[in-house]
Amino acid sequence: MERFDAVIIGAGAAGMFCAAIAGQAGCRVLLLDNGKKPGRKILMSGGGRCNFTNLYVEPAAYLSQNPHFCKSALARYTQWDFIDLVGKHGIAWHEKTLGQLFCDDSAQQIVDLLVAECTKGNVTTRLRSEVLDVTRDDAGYTLQLNGESVITHKLVIASGGLSMPGLGASPFGYKIAEQFGLKVLPTRAGLVPFTLHKPLLEQLSLLSGVSVPSTITAEDGTVFRESLLFTHRGLSGPAVLQISSYWQPGEFVTINMLPECDLDAFLNDQRAAHPNQSLKNTLAMQLPKRLIECLQQLGQIPDVTLKQLNSREQQALVDNLTRWRVQPNGTEGYRTAEVTLGGVDTHELSSRTMEARNVPGLYFIGEVMDVTGWLGGYNFQWAWSSAWACAQALAEQ
């Protein structure tokens, strides 16, 4: 039976980075994945350019039932450390918006970086490797793989969440946690588009493909200011993906499609200057034409001039455009979600080492645990930071 200092299950962002750092610190590491390629989600990420971190990473950008948990790792391995590594590999990058850093060329460069770092750490990587069974005794953790067994004292679970099953996502990590008596918090899809009830969807069908700047507010008061996209299934775009992580079934979200404009004041000013101007043409100065056409068809924009618009109609219009309360039917679920909320309860883990407090030698890193970032590079930064913290601990003894 082969013995390794550490076995890491999952060759995604967290698993590869942890393997590389631990290997470079002298550990004999085996990295396993059930897929035929490492880093499949990285390749898909950021529209193929990988939004690998964010300039403004801070603990407040992470959702967790234990909000303090992420602080230590994020402070010890920061966005600047990863930006430095990206620079050392000669990867050109740019800030797209809101501190989000993307490769200029391709997400493949980040996978290549991780593979190169693993090679530097003499990591043994086995792809298409299914872990059939894990047992623990005095000799350590024994893993039954297809056709062979390996043994280790340190087992790292980096198998990610449930999002995008087509990219290898599986509940493996949660099952291992439960097998060893760790609590797993309920999971749900995050950073995911909303679906709408059929009547509303039909009313808005004309808008599919239209994007507007917006602020979007959840019932708990969380607000994001990003763009909103109408789709043939419902609502998407960065604003919706962000707020979906704060939304619970049955709740409403409130959307302002004119965040830059005080609509009431704008209409009053325009009325004073151009009383005979049509309401439709006035609104076209602020909103996409298709949105106005759709709202006209729905009877929300009366066919009047500004001087004919009465105060009740104006108030209704302001409400519809700046305080639109929508009750999503649901989300598109794990099929299209970028992340999984919930997971291994971090109260069970050390925030310094990521080791299970009551199960020596068992570690969890990355998305499998109950730490979920905003859209914008925060989730990869959590993968890098948690992996780095764990790798230090693997190398300690």
| Interface residues toward ligand FAD, by CB under 6 A | 9-15, 32-35, 40-41, 44-46, 50-51, 131, 158-160, 163-164, 168, 170, 172, 338-339, 366-368, 377-380, 383
Rounded-to-integer distance, Cα 137 and Cα 145, Å: 17
Residue 201 vs 345, nearer CB to ligand FAD: 345
Q: How far is the CB of 376 from ligand FAD (least distance, A)?
A: 7
> 156 or 196: whose CB is closer to ligand FAD?
156
Nearer to ligand FAD, 185 or 201 (CB): 185
Q: Please, which residue, 49 or 271, has the CB nearer to ligand FAD?
A: 49
Q: Which is nearer to ligand FAD, 257 or 374 (CB)?
A: 374
Which residue number has the CB closest to ligand FAD?
12
Whole-number minimum distance, CB 42 to ligand FAD, in Å?
6
Number of Cβ within 10 Å of residue 40's Cβ equals 20
For the CB of residue 88, give the shortest distance to ligand FAD in the complex, in Å: 20
Q: Quick check: 196 and 329 in contact, CB under 8 A?
A: yes
Complex with ligand FAD: residue 93 or 172, whichever CB lies closer: 172
Query: Could you tell me the smallest distance in angstroms from the CB atom of residue 345 to ligand FAD?
Result: 16
Using alpha carbons, select from 126, 77, 4, 72 the residue that is nearest to residue 394: 4
Nearer to ligand FAD, 10 or 121 (CB): 10
C-alpha 180/C-alpha 358 separation (Å) is 9
Write down the least CB distance from residue 45 to ligand FAD, Å: 3
What is the spatial distance between Cα 202 and Cα 117, in angstroms, rounded to a whole number?
51
Burial profile 145-175: b = 16 or more Cβ within 10 angstroms, e = fewer: beeeebbbbbbbbbbbbbbbeeebbebbbbe
Closest CB to ligand FAD among residues 182, 291: 182
The distance of closest approach from Cβ of residue 258 to ligand FAD in the complex, given in angstroms and rounded to an integer, is: 29
Q: List, as one string, the DSSP characters of 307-355.
A: GG--HHHHHHHHHHHHSEEE---EE-GGGT-SEEEEEE-GGGB-TTT-B
Q: Which is nearer to ligand FAD, 12 or 234 (CB)?
A: 12
77 near 15, Cβ under 8 Å?
no
Strand partners, 188: 341
Question: In the complex with ligand FAD, which residue's Cβ is closer, 35 or 330?
Answer: 35
CB of 381 to ligand FAD, least distance (A): 7
Which neighbouring-strand residues pair with 156?
8, 363
Instruction: For residue 315, give Cα distances in angstroms to 18, 203, 264.
Output: 56, 21, 8
> Residue 125: in which H helix or E strand, if any?
strand 124-126
Nearest distance from residue 30's CB to ligand FAD, in Å? Answer: 12
| Least distance (Å) between residue 197 CB and ligand FAD | 26
> Which residues contact residue 218 at a Cβ distance below 8 angstroms, ignoring those fewer than 6 apart?
243, 246, 247, 251, 253
Smallest separation (angstroms) from ligand FAD to the CB of 261:
31
Output 72-77 pairs: Cβ under 8 A, ≥24 positions apart: 72/351, 72/352, 72/389, 73/351, 73/352, 73/354, 73/382, 73/385, 73/386, 73/388, 73/389, 74/381, 74/382, 74/385, 76/385, 76/388, 76/389, 76/392, 77/384, 77/385, 77/388, 77/389
The C-alpha atoms of residue 251 and residue 392 are separated, in whole angstroms, by: 42
